[in-house]
Amino acid sequence: MTHNILRTSSVNTCSKGALKTTRLFSTKKTGWFQRFLSPAEEKKLYLGITSSFREKLVEQSNKSTQTYSHIIEHALLTSPLKPTTGMLSITRIEQIKLDLDLAGKQKDLHRLQQLQLELDNANLTAIAVYNRLIRAYLWCDELALAENVLSNLEARELVPTVRTFTYLIQAHLKRHQIDQAKALVKKMDHLSLLKLRTSFDCAIMLKFYQSCGDTHAIDYVWRDLMTHATLVKPGLGLFTQYMEYLLDRQYDVKSVDKTVHQLLTHLQQDTSSITEHQYAVWIKSVNYLASKDQSAFTATAEQLLFFLMKRLPAKISWETINSSIDYILQSYLSEQQDLKMLAFYYKLRKLNIPDESFQKATLQSIETVLQRVETQSGQKDTMAKLEHLCLA
């Protein structure tokens, strides 16, 4: 009975007429739900909701902006005060660079200190300019003042460059102060500044690791250097430094051979002359390779010898290469590389090397080899191979 009463009251609350006047809520013709608002009322409600949402969004954005502004303002107010004596113009900075170099070469310490004061008062952040200042102080043999420049940069929370450290490391190495140099390298490592991308920096770090006897670090630096050789552009001086290290430590012949090939690859087009010291190191390399009596190493020695002959220092006479020539000829002879021996002799004579440059026994050996080649069967093919070797 109670159930019937509930059914009766629920039906009576919504008359049939009211149902006919209401619209379906769904847009489909077969929609099951009925609209409670007219289209105009729905539109008004939608606009009201979106308007309120936009107002809230703007309000939140304003709050975020105010928050960021407060953070920035607080950082500015709490940061330590720095001098605000004005910026230096680009023209003035360029002039200061020239003045630093001049004062350093003239060992004008008073002038350097004046320029440093101007840089500090201007709150300059260009590390390259301070590097010049360090170099100028070192030219004046003022290592303490040069290191003070680095300390000032660190106090101002400015990050030094690789060159900042290599200048100072070089100065300590000249004074045989290995511990001080190690401390600087440790700082470089902490700042991730051990990726070397200039020939000068590589040379200094190689010298440092050589002084420490760290062969692993030396090999790593050289491999990394060769990987980025197009960027670093190593010169003959850097190659000479590394080759001298290999020869002094009597490294295996393969390492010497590989380094010579690297030299010929990167500097074959470089026609600049070489120093007497560089010549002495590389002639030693020629003799070392040729003495191994292996065809591949002897061929490398030959290529290196011709490379050196094109760049022979003015004070070096042709007679100094006689022993190297004989090393290579005898090596080819012992390896029974008759054609390579004759081709090498032909190239030398083409460069107007006189017979006096060859030992009598070597000339007799060349004559014997030539007669043997001429009497061999298939002479036409043999001479074609010889011609190819002569042109190589």
User: pLDDT of 77-93, one tens digit each?
Assistant: 555 544 444 489 999 99
Regarding whether 190 and 138 lie in a shared domain, the answer is no
Regarding whether 242 and 376 lie in a shared domain, the answer is yes
Give the position of tokens 């090596």: 331
In a domain, 127, yes or no: yes
Report helix, strand or coil for 195: coil
Residue 35's pLDDT is 56
Residue 371's pLDDT is 85
Compute φ and ψ for 335, nearest 5 degrees. -85, 0
The last residue of a domain, from among 160, 191, 210: 160
- Average of per-residue pLDDT values in the chain: 84
**Two tokens, residue 390:** 């002569």
Q: Is the pLDDT of residue 251 over 50?
A: yes
Q: What long-range pairs does 373-379 form, CB within 8 A, spacing at least 24?
A: 373/338, 373/339, 373/342
Q: Residue range 163-186: average pLDDT?
A: 98
Regarding whether 265 and 156 lie in a shared domain, the answer is no
Q: How many domains does the chain have?
A: 3
Q: Is the pLDDT of residue 16 over 50?
A: no
Residue 49's pLDDT is 72
Distance CA(223)–CA(346), nearest Å, equals 37
User: pLDDT of 215-236, one tens digit each?
Assistant: 999 999 999 999 999 999 999 9
In a domain, 60, yes or no: no
In a domain, 343, yes or no: yes
DSSP code string of 260-279: HHHHHHHHTT------HHHH
Q: Is the pLDDT of residue 174 over 50?
A: yes
Report which of residues 76 and 91 the model is more confident about. Answer: 91
Distance CA(89)–CA(80), nearest Å, equals 25
Q: Is the pLDDT of residue 182 over 60?
A: yes
DSSP code string of 39-99: HHHHHHHHHHHHHHHHHHHHHHHHHHHHHHHHHHHHHHHHSPP---S-PPPHHHHHHHHHH
| Range of the structural domain that residue 185 is part of | 171-229
The last residue of a domain, from among 138, 160, 182: 160
Regarding whether 197 and 285 lie in a shared domain, the answer is no
Q: Residue range 166-194: average pLDDT?
A: 98
Regarding whether 266 and 240 lie in a shared domain, the answer is yes
In a domain, 81, yes or no: no
pLDDT band at 379 (very low <50, low <70, confident <90, very high): low
pLDDT band at 200 (very low <50, low <70, confident <90, very high): very high
Residue 96's pLDDT is 97
Regarding whether 213 and 118 lie in a shared domain, the answer is no
> Using CA of residue 188, residue 191, residue 197, residue 200, what is the dihedral sign?
negative
Distance CA(382)–CA(299), nearest Å, equals 19
Distance CA(65)–CA(77), nearest Å, equals 18
Regarding whether 300 and 198 lie in a shared domain, the answer is no
In a domain, 216, yes or no: yes
Report CA-CA distances (Å) from 385 to 293, 299, 301, 345. 22, 16, 21, 15
Q: Is the pLDDT of residue 389 over 80?
A: no
- Chain CA centroid to CA 182, Å: 21
Percent share of the chain, pLDDT over 90: 56
Residue 312's pLDDT is 86
Regarding whether 348 and 200 lie in a shared domain, the answer is no
Q: Whose CA is closest to 23, among 38, 11, 41, 40?
A: 38
Q: Residue range 367-372: average pLDDT?
A: 86
Residue 9's pLDDT is 44
User: pLDDT of 322-369, one tens digit each?
Assistant: 889 999 999 999 888 888 999 999 999 888 888 777 888 888 888 888
User: pLDDT of 96-150, one tens digit each?
Assistant: 999 999 999 999 999 999 999 999 999 999 999 999 999 999 999 999 999 999 9
The last residue of a domain, from among 139, 160, 181: 160
In a domain, 38, yes or no: no
- Chain CA centroid to CA 171, Å: 23
Residue 315's pLDDT is 84
**Two tokens, residue 122:** 């201007």
In a domain, 58, yes or no: no
Q: Is the pLDDT of residue 11 over 50?
A: no
Compute φ and ψ for 24, nearest 5 degrees. -65, 140
Q: Whose CA is closest to 77, among 86, 85, 87, 69?
A: 69
Q: Is the pLDDT of residue 383 over 80?
A: no
Regarding whether 388 and 303 lie in a shared domain, the answer is yes
Regarding whether 256 and 188 lie in a shared domain, the answer is no
Regarding whether 391 and 325 lie in a shared domain, the answer is yes
Compute φ and ψ for 34, nearest 5 degrees. -110, 145
Residue 68's pLDDT is 53
In a domain, 178, yes or no: yes
User: pLDDT of 49-62, one tens digit each?
Assistant: 776 666 766 666 66
Q: Is the pLDDT of residue 194 over 70?
A: yes
pLDDT band at 239 (very low <50, low <70, confident <90, very high): very high
Regarding whether 194 and 144 lie in a shared domain, the answer is no
Which amino acid type is present at position 363? L
